[in-house]
Amino acid sequence: MKKALPHRRVSGTSLIARSCLRSGALLGAIVGGLVGTSARAYASLYPTTSARRSLALAYEHNTAMVMLFGPAHHLDTVAGFTMFKAQMTCAILAAIWGLLTSTRLLRGSEDAGRTALLLTGSTSLKRWTGTTMAMFTVAALAAWVTASAVATVFSHELSLQRIMEATTILLAPFVVFLGSGAVASQLVASRRGAASAAACTLALSYLLRAVADAGLGLHWLLWFTPLGWVEQLEQPDSGWGAPWIAIAAASVFLGTITLLLSGSRDVGAGRFTRRTTRSPRRLLMRSPLAFSLRSLGASAMLWGVIVSLASFLYGLVAKSAGATLRAGSLAHITGGLDASGSGTAVVLSLTSLMVAITLSAFGVSQLAALRSDEAMARVDLVLMFPVGRSRWLLGRLALIAVAIIGGGALAGLAMWAGAALEHSGVSVGALVAAGCDDATPALALVGLVATIYGVSPRHTVALGWGLLIWSAGLVLVTVVGSVSTTLLATSVFHHLSAAPAARVNMASAGTMAALGGLGILLSAVTFSRRDLIHH
Amino acid sequence: MDAVIETTNLTKRYGRTTALKDCSLSVRRGEVMGFLGPNGAGKSTMINVLLGFARPTSGVATIFGENSTRRAARVHRRLAAVPSDVTLWPNLTGGETLDLFANLHGAVDSAYRDLLTHRFELDPTMKVRAYSKGNRQKVLLIGALMTRADLLILDEPTTGLDPLMEQAFRSSIAEAANRGQTVFLSSHIMSEVEALCDRVAILRSGELIEVGALHELHHLGGRHLDVRFNGIVPDLSRLPGVANFTVQANRARFEVRGALHPILDALAASDVITLDVREPSLEEVFLEHYGERS
């Protein structure tokens, strides 16, 4: 006899609160992890006063570094280094997280029709928007508490008070961009559009901050960008009052605008009208493979631009960063990576590792999109025509593999372009080879996740991202600490050569590429022998 | 071969749930077959098996003599479908979606596509995102009908269509039938099935409980009689086959199963002003069937 499930009272508010709690806690865990590991890495890589002074001298007056990552203060202290290392990464991550969270909860719910359903009850759009925004405080609080707790667990080098100060500053953009996403959700009538509009404000914010820090006498521009306010907060000597007032005022202002806009528009509509018609674009529609390319194209290009740009920037700073690595630190990292060579080559190897992780993330995201297409029965719309199942899946996976290899080569080329501008002396061939090598763990991971998709599609997304986080986490911990060899062998990135600081290991690269290919073939076979699974 | 669709002891289980149980069904060339059943009866599962999207646990389904699971791509060359509960690509326009369907199918009657677009009053320049539910359904319908495929498999095809568009749909199916196309129409709109189908199969909890021509199914339900008397209404409720006997002033309404002559004999002895005998509608047959067995 079936046991009745216990009755749980569920309301729209509690669902939003739970979602905010989850989202905030996850962001907090990442930020806390970054703060904690940065502090630990500093103590491990720069153990002596002279090493720390040398680091401070190399970075504090490097304009390129300041433009990219913000100014460096007190790099000879754990707190100063941690803030410098985590500030821009965490601030941008928190901002993206904020805008994605608010557009998902406000515009995403509206897109899916859930808001309309809730509004059939005794509430209005304005009141519901207000309730959702009130729940954002749950997200912010969860992020702050989790970040502080995780950072405390990871690092013993920073006091609890310093950790709490750091996480407060680093999470400030989360609050501002929750508001930015909320306003965009009122203006644009689709989740994607709202997220893009809010992302544009973030890009503008970053650009203004970079110009303000370029040493052109435009430092006052920092007051016109939320990332600038955060940067001001990181200079305790200059006083915290004004930036905090700016952050609070912007948050209140954006919240008020959101409420006003939500009270004067229809459900499902935005303040900006969308183009609903257009003349036909028939490019890449002739075959299932061409259509897969059309679906993949925009996303692949976006990832390609991001990975190339990041590689270029890291290539640009590789020489300066490499020069700051003292012999002991260098030996520690090279030992972890199984590499040798100059500081520049080691920094480029680390960049290469990040490229491999990014390419893998692209691969997993594409498999998640594939699963989403099946869940929404879009795959049915293709397979109800004379299209072979295995052939269709093979085509789609092959395109992902080609995009990964192309992305790796492009990243290598971009890394070289950046490094060449600084006369780093690393050859184009070495860096393109490193880039192509970066594609191999991504291919292995794609093969593995594709097999999961072929066998158990419902687990594709969770296991795919889980495997990526596991693999990346293990090797990143190796760079700053130590992990057992058996455990490390389970990470696909452990089998990546530390090129250009080491030669590309063709056997390892070939094995990973072959694993990827095998996984892809296996997924095609299993996919053709199972039911299509919706929802 | 005369049978276009043939299923033999088709069973589909999802864990402990049996979605289809020993379903044996044959759809003849050129006929319009209605496939009826309430929500969750297994209609969409049957269609998924026929389209090769789901593999039967046991039994076989063939279309044009080919195994629908193993030779799905080959079978799909001769069929077109309107699956239920699918999501179109929101960034494509209706016209682009139809272009894609045409390319994937391979052969499409362009003139007929234009005619259907006009008939269903679809604006092909609009993005799918901006379409109403009915308009999205029109895209799927036009996509299937424009192929002029030998077999049309339609799963709840008129979901979201207004009555005028339902008429357009009915005339399109009538055209398809006249051209000799076979149609397998899953629906729970009885009037639609009654208007379009030659034969009907009724599915309940995964089991086929009735397959037959419409006129045969009509006999499964009782005939409805409405009699007006001049004076007192005689008590006919005890006559064989009489059910649901109700009297209102000088008027009696009841249903009769089986032979009518005992009733007619009784009525001949009374002073009858008017007599109306009506065959049961498919809906009444359907409800009666489910009422009886559930």
Q: Does B55 touch chain A (CB under 8 A)?
A: yes
CA distance B264 to B270: 10
Nearest to A177 by CA among A124, A139, A147: A139
- Residues A466-490 have pLDDT tens digits of 899 889 878 876 765 566 788 888 9
- Chosen for mutation from A385, A394, A456, A534 (greatest number of chain B CBs closer than 10 Å) is A385
Cis peptide, bond prior to residue A288, ω within 30 of zero: no
Report the DSSP pairing between strands B79-82 and B151-155.
Answer: parallel
**Same-domain status, B287 and B200:** no
The answer to whether the Cβ–Cβ distance between B73 and A388 falls below 8 Å is yes
Asked if B71 is an interface residue toward chain A (Cβ–Cβ < 8 A), one would say no
Distance CA(B106)–CA(B89), nearest Å, equals 20
Q: With helix as H, strand as E and coil as C, how does A487-505 read?
A: HHCCCHHHHCCCCCCCCCC
Q: How many helices (H) and strands (E) does chain B have?
A: 10, 14
List pLDDT tens digits, range A229-249: 988 887 655 566 889 999 999
What pLDDT sits at residue A326?
Answer: 55
pLDDT of residue B294: 45
User: How far apart are the CA of B51 and the nearest CA of chain A, in angstroms?
Assistant: 7
Do B38 and B168 share a structural domain?
Answer: yes
Residue B212 and residue B105 in one domain = yes
Q: Report CB contact under 8 Å: B76, A376.
A: no
The answer to whether A483 and A335 have CB atoms below 8 angstroms apart is: no
Contact list, B72 vs chain A (CB under 8 Å): 383, 389
| List of chain A residues whose C-beta atoms are within 8 Å of the C-beta of residue B126 | 276-277
Nearby residues of B174 by Cβ (< 8 Å), 6 or more positions away: B196
Q: Which of B17, B53, B129, B142 to mutate to test the interface with A (most CBs of A within 10 A)?
A: B53
| Domain containing residue B276 | 223-293
Domain boundary among B218, B244, B274: B218
Q: ∠ at Cα A271 (A268, A272), nearest 5°?
A: 105
Domain match, B56 and B133 both: yes
Q: Does the CB of B51 have a partner CB in chain A at under 8 Å?
A: yes
A153 touches chain B (CB under 8 A): no
Q: Are residues B91 and B210 in the same domain?
A: yes
Query: What mean pLDDT comes out for the span B5-19?
Result: 95
Whether A277 has its CB under 8 Å from any CB of chain B: the answer is yes
Query: Strands (DSSP E) along A413-513, which ranges?
Result: none
Token pair listed for A305: 């631009």
d(CA A100, CA A94): 10
pLDDT at position B45 is: 95
pLDDT of A1 strictly over 50? no
Residues B42 and B160 in one domain: yes
- Give the count of alpha carbons within 13 A of B290, CB side only: 14
Of B218, B253, B272, the last residue of a domain is B218
Cβ contact, residue pair A376, B52, below 8 Å: no
What integer pLDDT is reported at residue A331 of this predicted model? 59
Q: What per-residue confidence (pLDDT) applies to A12? A: 77
Residue A109 has pLDDT above 80, yes or no: yes
Q: What are phi and psi of B276, to 5 degrees?
A: -120, 120
Residue A18 contacts B where some CB pair is shorter than 8 Å = no
Yes or no, beta carbons of B100 and A532 under 8 Å apart: no
Q: Which of A491, A480, A468 lies closest to A350, judged by CA?
A: A480
Q: Which residues contact A158 (CB under 8 A, 6 or more apart)?
A: A35, A39, A78, A79, A82, A151, A166
Determine contact: A192 vs chain B, CB below 8 A: no
- Check CB contact under 8 Å for A532 and B86: no
Cβ distance of A286 and B54 shorter than 8 Å: no
Q: Do A281 and B99 touch (CB under 8 A)?
A: no
Q: Which residue has the higher pLDDT, A354 or B147?
A: B147
Alpha-carbon span B63 to B86, nearest angstrom:
23
Q: Would you say residue B290 has pLDDT above 70?
A: no
Chain A residues in contact with B99 (beta carbon < 8 A): 280, 282, 285
Summarised one tens digit per residue, pLDDT across range B148-179 is 999 999 999 999 999 999 999 999 999 999 99
In one letter, which amino acid is A403?
A
Report whether pLDDT(A259) > 70. Answer: yes
Q: How buried is A72 (Cβ within 10 angstroms: 0-12 exposed, 13-18 middle, 19+ buried)?
A: buried
Say yes or no: B228 and B273 in one domain: yes
Separation in Å, CA of A119 to nearest CA in chain B: 20
Q: Quick check: helix, strand or coil at residue A285?
A: coil
> Averaged over B121-135, what is the pLDDT?
93
How far, in Å, CA of B78 to CA of B61, rounded? 16
Minimal C-alpha gap between B100 and chain A (Å): 6
**Chain A residue with minimum CA distance to B123:** A277
**Res. A186: pLDDT tops 90:** yes
Mean pLDDT estimate for chain A: 87
Q: What is the pLDDT of residues A437-464, one digit of tens each?
A: 999 999 999 999 999 999 999 999 999 9
State the average pLDDT over residues B174-195: 91
pLDDT of amino acid A169: 92
Give the model's pLDDT for residue A325: 61
Q: Is 60 exceeded by the pLDDT of residue B19?
A: yes
Asked which of B218, B236, B266 is the last residue of a domain, the reply is B218
Of A190, A276, A280, the CB nearest to B96: A280
Q: Is B74 on the interface with A (CB under 8 A)?
A: yes
Q: Do B125 and A279 touch (CB under 8 A)?
A: yes
Phi, psi of B33 (to 5 degrees): -105, 125
Smallest Cβ–Cβ distance between A381 and the set B76, B86, B126 belongs to B86
Asked whether residue B123 falls in the same domain as residue B239, the answer is no
Check CB contact under 8 Å for A378 and B125. Answer: no
Q: By the CB < 8 Å criterion, does B77 face chain A?
A: yes
User: B99 and A280: CB-CB below 8 Å?
Assistant: yes
Write down the residue that tokens 């630190």 correspond to: A329
Beta bridge partners of A277: B126
Considering only residues A50 and A506, tell me which one the structure prediction assigns the higher pLDDT: A506
State whether B177 and B34 are in the same domain.
yes
Note the pLDDT of residue A330: 57
Quote the tokens at residue A472.
């990346």
Domains in chain B, number:
2
Query: How confident is the model at residue A66, as a pLDDT?
Result: 73
Residue of A nearest to B154 (CA): A384
Looking at residue A502, its amino acid is: A
Kindly report the average pLDDT of chain B as a whole number. 91
How far is C-alpha A303 from the chain's CA centre? 11
Determine, for residues B96 and A380 on separate chains, whether the beta-carbon distance falls below 8 Å.
Answer: no
Separation of alpha carbons B55 and A389, rounded Å? 13
Please report which confidence band the pLDDT of residue B218 belongs to, taking 50, 70 and 90 as the band edges.
confident
Q: Which positions in chain A touch B87 (Cβ < 8 Å)? A: 376-378
**pLDDT at position A77:** 82
B86 inside 8 A of chain A by CB: yes
Name the residue among B81, B87, B106 with its Cβ closest to that of A378: B87
Which of A381, A383, A458 should one mutate to test binding to chain B, selecting the residue with the greatest count of B CBs within 10 A? A381
Q: What is the pLDDT of residue A34?
A: 85
Q: What was the pLDDT predicted at A350?
A: 83
Contact A288 B105 (CB under 8 A): no
Which pLDDT score, from 0 to 100, does residue A535 have? 73
Question: How high is the ipTM of this complex?
Answer: 0.87
pLDDT value of position A247: 94
pLDDT over 90, % of chain A: 50
**Based on the domain organization, do B188 and B237 belong to the same domain?**
no
Dihedral class, residue A111 (left if φ above 0, else alpha if ψ from -120 to 50, else beta)? alpha
How confident is residue A424, by pLDDT bands cut at 50, 70 and 90? confident
Cβ atoms of A373 and A396 closer than 8 Å: no
**Chain B residues with beta carbon closer than 8 angstroms to that of A529:** 55
Please report residues of B whose CB lies closer than 8 A to that of A526: none
A50 pLDDT more than 60: yes
Strand order in the sheet with B3-14: B17-28, B3-14, B58-63, B66-67
Chain B positions in Cβ-Cβ contact with residue A279 (cut-off 8 Å): 125
Residue A85: predicted pLDDT? 76
Q: How confident is the model at residue A39 (pLDDT cuts 50, 70, 90)?
A: confident
Query: Are B134 and B170 in a shared domain?
Result: yes
Q: Is B68 helix (H, G, I), strand (E, B) or coil?
A: coil
Beta strands B223-229 and B251-256 are antiparallel
Burial (CB < 10 A; 0-12, 13-18, 19+), residue A143, is buried
Top pLDDT among A48 and A251 is at A251
For residues B87 and A380, the answer to whether their CB atoms sit within 8 Å is no
Distance CA A397, CA A376 (A): 19
Min distance A507 CA to chain B CA atoms (Å): 39
Residue range A51-73, pLDDT digits in tens: 777 777 766 666 666 777 778 78
What CATH number is attached to the domain comprising B41? 3.40.50.300
Work out how many CB contacts closer than 8 A connect A with B.
94
State the Rg of chain A over Cα.
24
Closest partner CB to A287 (pick from B103, B123, B129): B103
- pLDDT score of B267 more than 60: yes
Chain B hits for A280, CB-CB cut-off 8 Å, are 93, 95-96, 99, 124-125
DSSP code, position A105? I
User: How far off is chain A from B97, nearest CA to CA, in Å?
Assistant: 9
Q: Kindly state whether residues B28 and B167 are assigned to the same domain.
A: yes
Helix or strand (DSSP H, E) at B228:
strand B223-229
Q: With bands split at pLDDT 50, 70 and 90, how would you rate the model's confidence at A17?
A: very high
pLDDT score of A167 more than 90: yes
